[in-house]
Amino acid sequence: LEEIGKIIPEYIRSFLFENKLLPSTYIIIRIDGCHFHRFSDIHEFEKPNDSRALNLMNACAVAVLNEFQDVVFAYGVSDEYSFVLKKTSQFNQRHSSQIVSAIVSLFSSVYVMKWNKFFPQKTLKYPPSFDGRAVCYPSTEILQDYLAWRQVDCHINNQYNTCFWMLVKSGKTKAEAQKCLKGTQTREKYELLSQHFCIDYNSLPVMFRHGSSVYRVKKSTSAIPENDNNGELQEVIVDHCNIIEQSFWKAHSSILG
């Protein structure tokens, strides 16, 4: 047995496939709920946007930032969240599968633990799961373009879904609503909402229109510190800002360092 114990480990380890992420790049981990179309149906999410579900997702993202110091920013919409790790991160020696699995498993278990806080009247009927992937972005500009892409997607989907569900709630079938919206431009959707449903799109909750951004800010002096980074008191906050505009990144230049 001792002989085998000496030979086998090296041989077995030789099969190990290491996928280390490119050094000195931002790492994005994007997670997405598996089959949340079904999950949201079964748990009767309000359509098109269930605030409780979004706030639960945000609470999970806050837990991720509180647990992993190298995660400097997160952006979430619907059943997805993107986590940004700083360029110099050595978290799990930049092993892709270890980083993805650490984040996705913490997120999923917090989702289950906090379910009751956000859905006190609803039993969780089956365990939700999330998938995750890692991508490296070599520059701040490209990273910001990535985040802008997610926020544009949030806007386009939200506008479509708001129209779709207004049509359905007003008596159209899903197929009719879909047909009605086919090929329509942004302006036509604004008009549909304002003329037929008296809804000013821009007055809808900002969380629905802009998604959620999670990041650290300097903590105001009076409260108790949660993190102590370089002697500076910080706290993780959830915001619904416009991250497409450069002004956000200028005003929060410390996030991407």
Contacts with Mg ion by CB under 5 A lie at 32-33, 36, 78-80
Question: Helix, strand or coil for residue 48?
Answer: coil
The single-letter DSSP state of residue 73 is: E
The residue (of 132 and 216) whose beta carbon lies closer to Mg ion is 132
Closest approach, Cβ 251 to ligand ATP, in A, equals 28
Closest approach, Cβ 211 to ligand ATP, in A, equals 11
Instruction: List phi, psi (to 5°) of 238.
Output: -110, 130
Closest approach, Cβ 27 to ligand ATP, in A, equals 19
Contact of residue 250 among ligand ATP, Mg ion, none (CB under 5-8 Å per partner type): none
Contact of residue 40 among ligand ATP, Mg ion, none (CB under 5-8 Å per partner type): ligand ATP
Instruction: List phi, psi (to 5°) of 122.
Output: -120, 130
The residue (of 33 and 132) whose beta carbon lies closer to ligand ATP is 33
> Please, which of residues 17-76 interact with ligand ATP by CB under 6 A?
32-37, 40, 45, 47, 49-50, 53-54
The residue (of 91 and 164) whose beta carbon lies closer to Mg ion is 164
Q: Which of 43, 73, 75, 79 binds ligand ATP (CB under 6 A)?
A: 79
Contact of residue 61 among Mg ion, ligand ATP, none (CB under 5-8 Å per partner type): none
Residue 126 one-letter amino acid: Y
Residue 106 one-letter amino acid: L
Helix or strand holding residue 240 (H, E): none
Q: Which of 58, 78, 82, 96 binds ligand ATP (CB under 6 A)?
A: 78
Query: Residue with the closest Cβ to ligand ATP?
Result: 37
Query: Using an 8 Å Cβ cutoff, are 150 and 75 in contact?
Result: yes
Closest approach, Cβ 48 to ligand ATP, in A, equals 6
Rounded to an integer, what distance in angstroms lies between the CA atom of residue 237 and that of residue 251? 15
The residue (of 60 and 192) whose beta carbon lies closer to Mg ion is 60
Query: Using an 8 Å Cβ cutoff, are 21 and 85 in contact?
Result: no
- Beta-bridged to residue 238, according to DSSP, are 214
Closest approach, Cβ 51 to Mg ion, in A, equals 17
Contact of residue 130 among Mg ion, ligand ATP, none (CB under 5-8 Å per partner type): none
Q: Which two tokens stand for residue 242?
A: 């416009």
Neighbours of 34 (CB within 10 A): 13
Neighbours of 94 (CB within 10 A): 20
Query: Using an 8 Å Cβ cutoff, are 128 and 39 in contact?
Result: yes
Nearest Cα residue to 237 out of 256, 212, 254:
212
Contact of residue 117 among ligand ATP, Mg ion, none (CB under 5-8 Å per partner type): none
Binding positions for ligand ATP, rule: CB under 6 A:
32-37, 40, 45, 47, 49-50, 53-54, 78-79
